[in-house]
Amino acid sequence: MARSAIINVMVQAALKAGRSLARDFGEVQNLQVSLKGPADYVSQADQRAEEIVFTELSRARPGYSFLMEERGEVIGDDPQHRWIVDPLDGTTNFLHGIPVFAVSIALERQGQIVAGIIYNPAMDELYTAERGGGAFLNDRRMRVAARRELGHSVIATGLPFLGHGNHGQALVDLRNVMGEVSGIRRFGAASLDLAYVAAGRFDGFWEENLKPWDVAAGILMVREAGGYVSDRQGEQTMLTSGSIVAGNEEIKAKLLKQLQIKR
C-alpha cells in the first residue's frame, strides 16, 4: 500500500516510540514508576516514548503545534496544524505486563482530524487512517462489522477507577447495555478500542471522561472504516466533552438509545 508523506512521518515516529516501549515492556518489573495521582501512573517508558514522538514529528514538520498527554500543549509557529499524541495509551496495562497498549498520533488541520496512527508494539499491529483514504491494519483495508442487532454484538467500554469519573453513571450505563448485547469488554486502552471497532473486532464502543489524545486518531479510524462516531448526545463534541459512542450506523444508534435510558 502506498502511503502519503504525512502518514509515513507519523508511522516512523510511532514505530520508533513503539520499539522503545517494547524494550521497556520486556523489563516491566524493573521500571521505576512515579505516582502522578490516584491509580494514575507515569513511567519513564511513557516519558521516553513521548520525547521520541515529539522529536521525530518536530524534525519532520517544524512549526506544527502539539497537544500531548505529559507535555501538554505546545504552540508552534503554524497554528493551522496540531499533533495530538498519547505516547502510551494503556499505561496501567503496560505496568502490569498486559500487552494491550498503544502509541496514538493524530494530525489536526484547521480543527479537523485528517490523519491518525495507532500502534500496539506488543502485537506489532499498526493501524493507519487518512481522511478520504480509508483505514488499514498492517496495510490491510479495514471495515466496521456489519452486525445490525445489539443481541449479536460485542461492545467495548471503559470504566471509571479510583479518583476518576462518575461511578454511579457508569453502573447505570452498564446495566442498560449489558442485558441487550452478546458481551461487553473492558480492555483499558480507548485508542485500541476504537481501532478494534474499525477492524470489525468490536461492534461498538462507548466511554466517558476521555481526553483528546485518547480518541483523536481512533475517531478518524472508525469513520474511514465506514463507521459512525458521536458523543452520547449524538453531537460532535468528543474532543471537548470526553464522551464517545462508536459503531456502524445501526449499532451506534441503538447503543445511543440504551445510554440515554435514565433508569
Q: Are 103 and 18 within 8 A, CB to CB?
A: yes
Q: Is 89 annotated as a binding residue?
A: yes
Burial of 135 (0-12, 13-18, 19+ CB in 10 A): buried
In angstroms, rounded to a whole number, what is the distance separating the alpha carbons of residues 118 and 150?
A: 27
Sequence-separated contacts (24+) of 62-70 with Cβ below 8 Å:
67/212, 67/213, 68/213, 69/211, 69/213, 70/42, 70/46
Q: Is 95 annotated as a binding residue?
A: no
Q: Is 70 annotated as a binding residue?
A: no
Q: Is 86 annotated as a binding residue?
A: yes
Q: Is 171 annotated as a binding residue?
A: no
Binding residues: 69, 86, 88-89, 214
Binding residues for Mg(2+): 69, 86, 88-89, 214
